[in-house]
Structure 1
């Protein structure tokens, strides 16, 4: 039930834009015939009360103008003159300090066309516009306007018959039955279960007491990790500021606060500071449900993150987000939500300011939603948790609220802000390419956990090379998307960023270099935790990291270590564990570490997210660390229980140096340790204690 609740919550956060959408402009199209070859296309807009949209000719340094494109004009018809529009209203903008041209209640656009292809049946018209009230919404429509040409010949479509070919599945499926109340072993005590599963009892293992220095280092590492995630969330918030849904709201909102307070400058600053604080609070509240889940069951976020179908769901969602950023459709929240928050703004005082912050969060969802989805999904990793999600949300909300408070205190700084324009859409498209690339990380997670073998390192790198080649071509003006304005001249930013992206494509291709020592592809530092392990390969397959010798079973590994008289390195890992891949590819690959792992220890890698089902005799009911019970159904359950039962830890990576003969833990177990020198010292100290 708890898993179901978490999954439903994730679905709501990701798919919330599929309900009724806010659409304050309704359209009607018609055609006026001037001659047999000339027609007038007419677009009539009805605008809801208190809303307004902008003319095609409103100044560039003001709000976004209406843009109309005739998609199928080439080869079919020519435009006679420019698109005409009904009279607009000229209103001076205190924010942009220019006259803006806008329509209220209704607007009309007329374009005369001359037919050049007698077989054309319709005119495809695309219109993009900004409609505003307290907030602004970027919208677009495509109309397929039928042309009343009597001489049109209907084209005939050839029918093709596709024969279905039936392929017989000859693969053998072996079903392992789950334990039920009828066949579950009863009366087994924890000691008997542990002996049966692991060949050990908790009382047999001689633990090392953690020193105060070790505990202090663990706290520092955890805090450092949270600050890093806060920083990533902050960067995400800054990116959200540079989107068309948020950027135009900065001067509008700041001007409202500074002018609504009259001569009291401090009052306006106080309201703006409160507004920024409430923006931060709104995003922090989104992480609260995950703390409730984490307190009920410490393993639940790990189980959610490694759930195969949830990772596939995230893959589909990220593809959906990417094409939204590309401009093929918009994500908006239910209009009833925004109407209620807008009504709340009229309350006034502190509560009114809170509803203004909530309205901004809802209205900007089409741009912030995909970024928040990335933050949410990224935090739900095997080495993540609710506090990491809170840290990320805090960074995001802080970055989003900071400009409103900052510009209220120093209003002259707004003069240095760039004007709204096509660069805002360019930012969205760049984010779309990044969302598309990240989507395959989640498909890779599912593939690794289920061992499907469909997204090994080679196809993953090829897909990323294609995606970032597309981004480079877009930045250099070779590819266009629906909302892109015509490029008169490439900006310096686009040229520089395009060249950097092209260099990154070259970096990705270097991942196909073969390391002759490990007989694997060369790990790419920037892709640690994003790409599959280099050993998960079509051409250079290897079941163990860096082509090391390792065991995936505890009992057989311990028996081998006893025979060879070597200490054991127990590696609690996960197929979808980001920091595990970083350790394997950037610490274990160091020559001095690799030498120790190959010669001085026996490596036992236990994957806590392995979904391979256990045999019937091992599907036992065990007591969890919180006093509850669970049925061990797969190997991931088995190894996760071993880690929590014997070592009181449930995070990965987690490393234990162990004496197989005396069952003694040789030194204090450690978690993620990115400094190779520190990890080497830890290994050497444990091996010294074994000798």
Structure 2
């Protein structure tokens, strides 16, 4: 059996590395601090968009960085592994815990005490890395330092040529094999090695045929391409819609005809009046885009990202939205000090030309603050989570264009001013509606803090109950059943207002089943995670039949069914997103539960193997120590991939039935992926 295993594994050539990702490269070195003291320093270069998690994150979260010793003599470990550098702390909604991680670069340091004489320190650093779409399995950086420490001086003799520092070991993460170009021509293989008699653990591959690589087969189907990044367009549209909302508030709408008429009448030259109106609109754009850039430059993109998920900040922002909502309901008026706007206004009158127009636009920004402030604040908080330097500026660009558009359009077509709706009670309706929406979003920010501190006062059903009440009250208000101080006594309800009420009440009714566990995909981005739901009658969930590859494949052969392999991880954020957003679809769950044998393989499963197994992969030796290592090894050598989530459909013999599928929440696309696999299985392909 051992000879068969060796022969089979020699045939496993990972010749296609199209899906193997190598976003993190580590360098390790041993440094002398003083007599009898040294430290092992691990330095990582991290690709853009990826991050490496720090140490001691706790159970139930992503993979923490850990220092592991396998053999040590002539030295002792002092203290714990210490992270160094710019560490980012933020709250992760999916894990319901605070996490810490590094971007661009990371450094971990482990101190040692050298007892004198010859020494050897052998082991590995294990770390976890993720980006916005997928995660790597627990990845190991092996090290082996030997030398001699002089008892009197404590100097480390790493090599005869260097008595102070051990050789620097340029080490690639063990879960990321060298590319074909880097590997020797005769070493592009994976081989189990052990003692003189062969492998130390034959359980690594119970059925050798099922572990044969199928990378070329997957390529014949065609692999999925990366998704187009539409985030900037989405941010711009969000800002534009926010600007339209601000446009119809009492702080902005009444100013439009007065400002346009002023530009058209101040000059006998109509062209100059139109040009001034265009300049006024452009000034508004410049002011708000400058605001977005200033916020990013002051705080920094990563600081904004951390701030947006900070518990204290979310509580303060929640309170701010409540105060603004009370103001919109008519409890009091929020305005900036009048001397600010008066000072700018007087400067505008004292100057002429472009500066005068710019100061007038700045006056508008100050006067309209009570209406635009909450919208701008909410927009900036949302876009800051992207971590992009230009995101706040893009959001403000959309906001400013929407705000400036009517000034230029009415200047170009003055006759439109006559058909412009007059200010009246309808504007207060919009203002009160915004107040209800601000209360709803205030709960969203409070929910982040609630999850951070573990108060459990805003579990999912509590959150939904409050939203149901808020949107029901908004519906009744729009129908004229509730009055606020600044509302007109006229009880007539217009057609537009009626449809708004209809939508609000329907939305409230839509959320009611969520109290019993319905997924409510429309509010999944706002509501607390399903795990906080105390009472759940919803049972349309997908559960794996097996968490062992060989056992699951044997079951599939006996029952004549195709297999869906789910390579996942306990610390994989996007794996949970796919399970909640895609697998809960009735058609998806029906196909997986009834037509496939689902085998879920956790690549970060820490259960130790019976014995550690050494393998040679692409000419490099590594050790499989845990069940997670085993499944990660399977994913790499058989399918040529190392990121999660990763879904692949195979037949009873381990041959693929379709191209693989990664993170993409497009349900119709996922259904097509599953159905194509079934069709190919029936054809016997």
TM-score range, shorter chain: 0.5 to 0.7
- Conserved in 2, the CA contact under 8 Å of 1:655 and 1:670? yes
Counterpart check, 1:238 vs 2:244: yes
Per-residue CA distance 1:533-584 (angstroms, 9 max, x = gap): 3443111299xx975558xxxxxx9x96687678443369898x9x975872
Q: 1:581-596, aligned counterparts within 5 Å? A: 584-586=580-582, 588-592=584-588, 595-596=591-592
Counting only pairs closer than 5 Å after superposition, residues 75-224 of structure 1 correspond to structure 2 as: 183-185=79-81, 186-187=109-110, 192-194=124-126, 199-201=138-140, 202-206=173-177, 218=226, 221-223=228-230
1:285 to 268, 281, 290: 290
The correspondence of residues 343-354 of structure 1 with structure 2, limited to 5 A, is 343-345=346-348, 346-354=350-358
Deviation at 1:591, TM superposition (A): 2.9
Which of 594, 597, 600 is 2:598 aligned to? 600
Secondary structure of 2:568's aligned partner: strand
Which of 321, 324, 330 does residue 321 from structure 1 map onto? 324
Q: Could you say what the CA RMSD is over the residues aligned between the two structures, in angstroms? A: 4.9
Q: Secondary structure at the match of 1:600?
A: strand
Answer yes or no: is the 8 Å Cα contact 1:333–1:365 preserved in 2. yes
Residue by residue over 1:339-375, the C-alpha shift from the partner in whole angstroms, topping out at 9 and shown as x without a partner, is: 4432442322222222211111111000011111221
How far, CA to CA, are the matches of 1:395 and 1:605 in structure 2?
43
Q: Is the 8 A contact 1:283 1:394 kept in 2?
A: yes
Distance of 1:293 and 1:405 partners within structure 2: 32
Matched, 1:256 2:262: yes
**In the alignment, structure 1 residue 531 sits paired with structure 2 residue 538:** no
Residues 548 and 471 (structure 1), Cα distance of their counterparts in 2 relative to 1, 3 Å cut:
same
Q: Matched residues in 2 for 1:398 and 1:491: separation? A: 29
Counterpart contact for 1:458–1:537, Cα < 8 Å: yes
Q: How does 1:12-27 map to 2 (within 5 A)?
A: none
| Worse-matched range after superposition: 313-322 or 422-431 | 313-322
What displacement does 1:479 show?
1.6
Does structure 1 retain, via aligned residues, the 8 Å contact 2:541–2:584? no
Q: Look up the match of 2:645.
A: 655
Match of 2:492 among 477, 489, 492: 489
How far 1:586 sits from its partner (Å)? 4.7
Where 2:126 maps in the other structure, the secondary structure is helix
Q: How many Å separate the matches in 1 of 2:570 and 2:675?
A: 16
**In structure 1, C-alpha distance between the alignment counterparts of 2:251 and 2:263, rounded to whole Å:** 20
1: distance between equivalents of 2:429 and 2:258? 22
Tell me if structure 1 keeps the 8 A contact 2:542–2:583. no
Contact 2:264 2:270 in 1 (8 A): yes
Q: Does 1:677 align with 2:680?
A: no
Q: Structure 2: 5+ residue runs without aligned partners?
A: 1-58, 60-64, 67-76, 82-108, 112-120, 130-136, 141-172, 180-214, 554-563, 605-640, 650-657
Between the aligned partners of 2:535 and 2:442, the Cα distance in structure 1 is 24
Distance 2:336 2:603 in 1: 45
Cα distance change, pair 190–427 in 1 and its aligned pair in 2 (3 A): farther
Residue 303 (structure 1) aligned to one of 306, 312, 330: 306
Conserved? CA contact 2:541–2:589, under 8 Å: no
Whether the aligned pair in 1 keeps the contact of 2:648 and 2:660 (CA below 8 Å) is: no
Cα distance change, pair 547–587 in 1 and its aligned pair in 2 (3 A): closer
Distance (Å, rounded) in 1 between the aligned partners of 2:271 and 2:660: 55
Post-superposition offset of 1:529: 0.6
Q: Distance in 2 between matches of 1:492 and 1:574?
A: 48
1:366 to 355, 370, 373: 370
Measured at CA, do residues 524 and 275 of structure 1 come closer, stay the same or move farther in structure 2, by a change above 3 Å? Answer: same
Number of aligned residue pairs: 447
Matches within 5 A, 1:383-398: 385-398=388-401
8 Å Cα contact 2:300-2:389 kept in structure 1: no
Distance change >3 Å, CA 200–CA 387, structure 1 → 2? same
The answer to whether the 8 A contact 1:561-1:568 is kept is: no
Tell me, yes or no, if the aligned pair for 1:308 and 1:445 is still in contact at 8 Å. yes
- What per-residue deviation string (whole Å, max 9, x for no partner) do you get for residues 184-213 of structure 1? 44447998322699753324324899x9xx
TM-score computed with the length of structure 2 as normaliser: 0.55
List alignment gaps of at least 5 residues for structure 1.
Answer: 1-173, 515-520, 551-556, 607-646, 660-665
Q: Cα 1:585–1:671, aligned 2, differ >3 Å: closer, same or farther? A: closer
Match of 1:155 in 2: none
Q: Does 1:503 align with 2:442?
A: no
Question: 2:330 & 2:601 partners in 1: Cα distance?
Answer: 50
